[in-house]
Amino acid sequence: MSTETAGWRISNFREAYAAGVSVADVIEHVLEALSAAPRGVLIGEPLRDRARRDVAALTAATSLDRPLYGVPFLVKDNIDVEGSVTSAGCPGYGVVAPEDATVVARLRAAGAIVCGRANMDQFATGLVGTRSPYGVPPNVIDPALAPGGSSSGSAIAVALGLVPFSLGTDTAGSGRVPAALNGIVGFKPTVGSVSMAGIVPAVRRFDCPSVFAHDVLDAVTVVDVLRGGDDRDQYSRELPPSRPMRTRPIVGVPIRWPKSLGTSDAVAEWFDRCRSRLCELDVEVREVDIEPLLQVGALLYGSAIVAERTAAVGDVVAAGIEGLDPIVATIIGAGAGPSAVDAYRAEYELARLRRIAERVWDEVDVLALPTTPDVATIEAIASEPFRENEKLGRLTSFVNLIDAMAVVVPLRETTGVEPFGLQLVAPGGQDREVARLAGAFEAGVLQVAAQECTVVVVGAHLRDMPLNHQLVERRATYLGPGRTCADYRLYALADAVPPKPGLVRVACGTGAPIDVELWSMGLAEFGSFVRSIPAPLGIGSIELIDGRVHCGFLCEAIATEGATDITDYGGWRTYQAARSMPPLARSAIS
């Protein structure tokens, strides 16, 4: 098998190694390809010595069962790799890292091989990808366009097929904008769910590591390795409990394009095609007002919050170290101006606007937006650097400020990939649900995913029945029909309002299979659901005809005294339908 790795996914590396291809040979090929990368992609030479040491340690263990065994990757230049210089895109800031950042350590433990440091907008201050003394990496779709930043080199390396994934960071959109502009996937997890320890901060409480990949599956694989608490990071937290999506997800789209957004005709037309693709997945598309979100995002650079950038690296900027980008120095220097009073006022305004903006989650499960309202050319950025940069972040800057997560996925068509990306945004904690929807958009097929608790539904909670709303309100997912094993009897309970059946397990050979439905819901939702169930019904274990056992509705045996045995109807829905028939037809069924 060839070691030509251009464009390989993670699965291709697994297949090659399983077939006996040498890890050392593959990584040497990757290092050689990286050394020939266009100017501006890498900072310095590939990390050959480090990669070779890691390969030797990995192959000495001989086990292939690590999730990222022998898979090469790059890191953005603000992420520490032990023994290499972290410069955050500024030569005068560079210092040799004494240890790996937590994200690098976790990837290495999973078998991945770090092969180089990727270029970036200096100090992660920019979304254009042009604010670096190390050059501007080329946009892979159109070299006249900006590559996007600040994680420019990380995105371009993946888009060029040099590595299957890379690490960036994201505060205002740095892990999403370059993904969109180069036709790849960008995964920005929930803030705090992936450690920032060993990473040069930008706006520390809103910073988040991000992942670039060719497809959603690879991005999810990497994020799963990275996720988890870390005592080295004071903002680290476990992934917060997610609110399950509805069985048929509601996807919010802009009811209008606000004039301030500056949406180009090309982006609007492209988004209409994205909307059509979402409709083909059988999600519900609902129009919402995105203006409050834009107001939140404007605070990141347009208020005293910008002082957090000064708190991070303002001292070295003020010292006038070698290689400072003048635009970056201006932005960070301006953060020294606001007072503590200004900072608190900005926090109060953020809290007010956040409360308004977050009402959108009462209406929808996910927001679907273009990642950028337009593209930016290299020429336009040179002429209007602040305006063009601000434009690229209008639809991304709000996300971390309202504790949301996002995945960017390209619209791949027969005509190729355009320099736009669909951004799917949801409340923090819904990383897996949104990744599933992004994968469905990518593949054109939405698979129904079961949640933590499967519930067997027998009567009034069946679809189109009076109490089904209690499942829908808890965002339960309908999994399909089922049947119990043959050891149950079904009764129509007397005086139940609304009418309900009672399912009772009986001795072997004295019952019959009963038609049921299978639903799933989150653990917290299941707890509240169980509390709502009145006697004589309760939740117990129900055996299905295929041998599976799930929680479901059972009835106290004493409640069946005087109740009508309706077992022969085979299920509650059939019994209810029979009751509405004329007497002659009803007797024929019974």
DSSP string, 496-540: -SS--EEEEE--TTS-B--EEEEEEE-HHHHHHHHHTPPTTEEEE
580 in active site: no
Mean pLDDT for 342-368 is 96
Residue among 468, 570, 466, 454 at smallest CA distance from 515: 570
d(CA 242, CA 244): 6
Structure pTM?
0.84
C-alpha neighbours within 13 Å on the C-beta side of residue 350: 24
Least confident of 106-110, 114-118, 225-229, 280-284: 280-284
Q: What percent of the chain clears pLDDT 70, i.e. is strictly above it?
A: 96
> Does this chain's domain 10-443 share its CATH topology with 453-589?
no
Three-state SS for 194?
Answer: strand
- How far apart are the C-alpha atoms of 430 and 227, rounded to whole Å? 13
Please identify which of the residues 76, 188, 391, 500 carries the catalytic annotation: 76
Q: Classify domain 453-589 by CATH number.
A: 3.10.490.10
CB-based burial of residue 334 (10 Å sphere; 0-12 exposed, 13-18 middle, 19+ buried)? middle
Query: How far is it, in rounded angstroms, from Cα 67 to Cα 17?
Result: 13
**pLDDT on residue 448:** 66
CA 233 to chain centre: 21
Half-sphere CA count of 82, side-chain side, radius 13 A: 14
Q: Helix, strand or coil for residue 563?
A: coil
Catalytic residue among 87, 174, 210, 242: 174
189 contacts 238 by C-beta, under 8 angstroms: no
Which pLDDT does position 445 carry in this prediction?
84
3-state SS class at 288: strand
Mean pLDDT in residue range 539-545: 96
- 328 within 8 A of 121, measured Cβ to Cβ: yes
Can you tell me whether residue 61 is helix, strand or coil?
Answer: helix
* Pairing verdict, β 422-427 and 404-409: antiparallel
What does DSSP assign to residue 5?
-
Domain boundaries, the chain: 10-443, 453-589
DSSP, residue by residue, 181-239: HTT-EEEE--TTSB--TTB--SSGGG-EEEEEESSHHHHHHHHHHHBS--TT-TT--PP
Tokens of residue 246, six digits: 């509805």
- As given in the structure block, the two tokens for residue 171 are 């505060």
Residue 242: per-residue pLDDT:
67
Tokens of 170: 């994201």
**pLDDT band per the 50, 70, 90 thresholds, residue 414:** confident
What integer pLDDT is reported at residue 1 of this predicted model?
Answer: 43
Split at pLDDT 50, 70, 90, the class of 430 is very high
Q: Report d(CA 146, CA 59) in Å as an integer.
A: 40
Mean pLDDT in residue range 1-5: 66
- Looking at residue 429, its pLDDT comes to 93
* Signed CA dihedral, 76, 77, 80, 82: sign only: positive
Helix (H, G, I), strand (E, B) or coil at 549: strand
Sheet harboring 488-492: ordered strands across?
501-505, 488-492, 564-565
- What is the layout of strands, in order, in the sheet containing 549-555? 477-483, 515-521, 453-457, 549-555, 537-543
Angle between the 10-18 and 216-226 helix axes, to the nearest 10 degrees? 80
Mean pLDDT for 235-245 is 79
Q: Is 174 a catalytic residue?
A: yes
Residue whose pair of structure tokens reads 């180089």 in the numeric block: 116
Q: What confidence tens digit (pLDDT) does each residue in 377-407 have? A: 999 999 999 999 999 999 999 999 999 999 9
**Residue 519 pLDDT > 70, yes or no?**
yes
> How is 82-134 classified by DSSP, letter by letter?
TTSEE-TT-GGG-EE-SS--HHHHHHHHTT-EEEEEE--SGGG--SSS---TT
State which H helix or E strand residue 389 sits in.
Answer: helix 385-392
Per CATH, which fold does 10-443 belong to? Amidase signature (AS) enzymes (3.90.1300)
Length of the chain: 590
pLDDT score for 356:
96
Q: How far apart are CA 467 and CA 487, in angstroms?
A: 26
> What's the N-to-C CA distance of the chain in angstroms?
67
Q: Which of 84, 87, 132, 150 is catalytic?
A: 150
- Dihedral sign, Cα of residue 13, residue 437, residue 522, residue 489: negative
Burial of 412 (0-12, 13-18, 19+ CB in 10 A): middle
Flag whether pLDDT at 147 surpasses 50.
yes
Closest by alpha carbon to 377, among 162, 147, 113? 147
Assign 489 to helix, strand or coil.
Answer: strand
Neighbours of 247 (CB within 10 A): 16
pLDDT of residue 378: 98
* pLDDT on residue 415: 81
- Looking at every residue in the chain, the average pLDDT score rounds to 94
